[in-house]
Amino acid sequence: METLKNFSIMFLGLFLLISSTLLSLTSGEIQRHQFVIQATPVKRLCNTHNRITVNGMFPGPTLEVRNGDSLEVKVVNKARYNVTIHWHGVRQMRTGWADGPEFVTQCPIRPGGSYTYRFTIQGQEGTLWWHAHSSWLRATVYGALIIRPRLGESYPFPKPNLETPIVLGEWWDANPIDVVREATRTGAAPNVSDAYTINAQPGDLYKCSSKDTRIIPIDAGETNLLRVINAALNQPLFFAVANHTLTVVGADATYIKPFTTSVLMLGAGQTTDVLIKADQRPARYYMAARAYQSAQNVPFDNTTTTAILEYKSSKKGNAPKPIMPFLPAYNDTNTVTAFSRSFRSPRKVQVPTEIDESLFFTVGLGLNNCPPNFRRSRCQGPNGTRLAASMNNVSFMLPRSISLLQAHQQGIPGVFTTDFPGTPPVKFDYTGNVSRTLFQPSTGTKLYKLKFGSRVQVVLQGTSIIAPENHPIHLHGYDFYIIAEGFGNFNPKRDTSKFNLVDPPLRNTVAVPANGWAVIRFVADNPGVWLMHCHLDVHITWGLAMAFLVENGVGELQSLPAPPSDLPLC
């Protein structure tokens, strides 16, 4: 009798254990937040300016969730600009209506309006972020999105003592919206930023900034997981911490086979998770970021932002100046190449080997000849032209009266076409001395249609038109494997043998080498309209974008549901 009772208690316990594990595996929590978009006085570099923020915070609120959790973020627009919020890197499986890019998946939230973004984090762990996806508002409207493992699960590395988001940004003394409007009017390159920032503070190498320099305290022997995010509008950045080695463990919310480095390079939009151990003499050490500038003879912000890693046992008060890290030269492409080649998935992954869609997209700048009815003041690009950018020679134009996703779902004609070319209309020596006749792109709202489930390969080929440059190409709604990178023109005969189909990194943004190429692969398993673009906002402004239209598959689980009832109207 006793044994039977014991047995049933044991059985009950086991049952409870199993069911609670199942529960935590299937259903996460729902987190609700409100983001009020509002003008807020912000003092930087000696002056106070009104800037658009979320809830008056700069940077905006950090969202902390677990894999499997759902987010409901009500965005209330109390600013005088249209706004949308994009959850950069979130896969948004069948929740394309919550992705956010203005006129792609929704019309903007007008001043006075609101919209609730609803989505679930599925199978992603690490660091992502959120930002405005309307004009250049993301200059100040951004924040970290931290995704921890499910309850009861742990990191694939020893648990760090501390975790700190390190959000790199750019600061303009001028209103960034005015900067982009002016550039759009003149056709010239916009002004560059006045400072870089770490967690929205420039740091003590800038005027009027030392007392607000960010301090990151640490105890000797502790390990901190730094979640580094490049939220800068227009600049890839190097990042290093004096005297400390960084162990890279993740990027774009995917784990990476750990490797050590003294310096990171993040293309705009990319995130990198690193472990840093306080194993040096107790003191104060700068963490610093400055430009990686691959385009030559182009003005850029060459300043340096700093924060201070401060050992708690180091002497305060009249402490000596912090130690400065070594940062690579602005144009040090070799360091960037070595760094990006170190990325591997932790184990063998399922890279698609059969390809249904083999695409080849050029990415680069261009020049538009000035229309005859334009004044000279509107033709301030090189030799009286207007600067442009394109993919496969198409300069992408957003619709203005409805979003692409609504037009697609409601079958509204005349908003877009599905003839985005799968290969460049003209083949040329992309990284050579390109003839001036090939500088002018066409303009259009062209999408590339993908059947649900198709296996896609895209060769992203940089061009040398005007200035070869490292372009951070970001795909919405997907992660992709980066199976190869190289310089010069991609050559299938020579370069296919270099494909890593074993353990390539999975990311949402690839830094395509200056004067080079990158090859990505993904499976089109998420129906909707998904923007792919250069994450340098100045290049999106000029048209360096396209969009994939991924069709529905079979049945509800492979189809995009109807839009939420509060989707903003145009």
**Piece in contact with ligand C2O (CB under 6 A), picked from 182-190, 299-307, 429-437, 531-539:** 531-539
- Cβ contacts of 555 within 8 Å, gap of 6 or more: none
Q: Identify the burial level of 272 via C-beta atoms within 10 angstroms of its C-beta, where 0-12 means exposed, 13-18 middle and 19 or more buried.
A: buried
Residue 446 binding ligand C2O, by CB under 6 A: no
Residue 86 binding ligand C2O, by CB under 6 A: yes
Q: Where are the alpha helices (DSSP H) in 296-423?
A: 333-340, 404-410
In terms of CB distance, is 167 or 216 closer to ligand C2O? 167
In terms of CB distance, is 254 or 489 closer to ligand C2O? 254
CB of 104 to ligand C2O, least distance (A): 8
In angstroms, what CA-CA distances link 303 with 177, 238, 289, 538?
22, 12, 9, 19
CB of 53 to ligand C2O, least distance (A): 18
- The interface mask with ligand C2O, positions 325-344, x = CB under 6 A, is --------------------
CA distance 299 to 306: 22
In terms of CB distance, is 160 or 269 closer to ligand C2O? 269
| Binding test (CB under 6 A) with ligand C2O, winner from 44, 66, 88, 446 | 88
Judge whether 45 and 81 are in contact, CB under 8 Å.
Answer: no
| Binding test (CB under 6 A) with ligand C2O, winner from 28, 59, 68, 101 | 101
In terms of CB distance, is 88 or 446 closer to ligand C2O? 88
CB of 492 to ligand C2O, least distance (A): 29
Residue 214 binding ligand C2O, by CB under 6 A: no
Listed residue (402, 479, 370, 394) closest to 125, CA to CA: 479
CB of 80 to ligand C2O, least distance (A): 23
In terms of CB distance, is 267 or 328 closer to ligand C2O? 267
**Piece in contact with ligand C2O (CB under 6 A), picked from 90-98, 251-259, 332-340, 527-535:** 527-535
Judge whether 314 and 284 are in contact, CB under 8 Å.
Answer: yes
> In a 3-state reduction of DSSP, which class is residue 149?
coil
**Piece in contact with ligand C2O (CB under 6 A), picked from 65-73, 90-98, 253-261, 529-537:** 529-537
Residue 531 binding ligand C2O, by CB under 6 A: yes
Question: Amino acid letter at 176?
Answer: P
CA distance 83 to 498: 43
CB of 100 to ligand C2O, least distance (A): 8
CA distance 523 to 356: 10
In terms of CB distance, is 246 or 531 closer to ligand C2O? 531
| Binding test (CB under 6 A) with ligand C2O, winner from 68, 202, 269, 527 | 269
Q: What is the DSSP string of 36-81?
A: EEEEEEEEETTEEEEEEEETTBSS-PPEEEETT-EEEEEEEE-SSS
Judge whether 190 and 179 are in contact, CB under 8 Å.
Answer: yes
CA dihedral for 421, 422, 423, 424, sign (positive or negative): positive
The verdict on whether omega for the bond into residue 59 sits within 30 degrees of 0, i.e. cis, is yes
In terms of CB distance, is 94 or 535 closer to ligand C2O? 535
Residue 477 binding ligand C2O, by CB under 6 A: no
CB of 268 to ligand C2O, least distance (A): 8
CA distance 187 to 71: 40
Indicate the pairing of strand 509-512 with strand 545-550: unpaired
In terms of CB distance, is 91 or 131 closer to ligand C2O? 131
Number of residues that bind ligand C2O (CB under 6 A): 11
Tokens of 106: 């929704």
> In a 3-state reduction of DSSP, which class is residue 160?
coil
- Cβ contacts of 449 within 8 Å, gap of 6 or more: 418, 548, 549, 551
In terms of CB distance, is 237 or 367 closer to ligand C2O? 237
Count of Cβ atoms closer than 10 Å to residue 171 Cβ? 28
In terms of CB distance, is 244 or 533 closer to ligand C2O? 533
- The interface mask with ligand C2O, positions 382-421, x = CB under 6 A, is ----------------------------------------
Judge whether 491 and 368 are in contact, CB under 8 Å.
Answer: no
Q: What is the DSSP string of 87-104?
A: EET---TT-GGGS--BTT
| Binding test (CB under 6 A) with ligand C2O, winner from 133, 290, 455, 521 | 133
In terms of CB distance, is 379 or 531 closer to ligand C2O? 531
**Piece in contact with ligand C2O (CB under 6 A), picked from 10-18, 158-166, 296-304, 530-538:** 530-538
| Binding test (CB under 6 A) with ligand C2O, winner from 131, 455, 471, 507 | 131
In terms of CB distance, is 92 or 199 closer to ligand C2O? 92
In terms of CB distance, is 535 or 539 closer to ligand C2O? 535
CB of 376 to ligand C2O, least distance (A): 33
CB of 476 to ligand C2O, least distance (A): 6
The number of helix segments (H) and strand segments (E) in the chain equals 6, 32
Tokens of 22: 């199942």
Residue 533 binding ligand C2O, by CB under 6 A: yes
**Piece in contact with ligand C2O (CB under 6 A), picked from 240-248, 448-456, 511-519, 528-536:** 528-536
Tokens of 486: 């190289």
| Binding test (CB under 6 A) with ligand C2O, winner from 94, 386, 408, 474 | 474
Judge whether 142 and 130 are in contact, CB under 8 Å.
Answer: yes
User: Taking CB positions, which residue lies at the least distance from ligand C2O?
Assistant: 88
Binding residues for ligand C2O, per CB under 6 A? 86, 88, 101, 131, 133, 269, 474, 476, 531, 533, 535
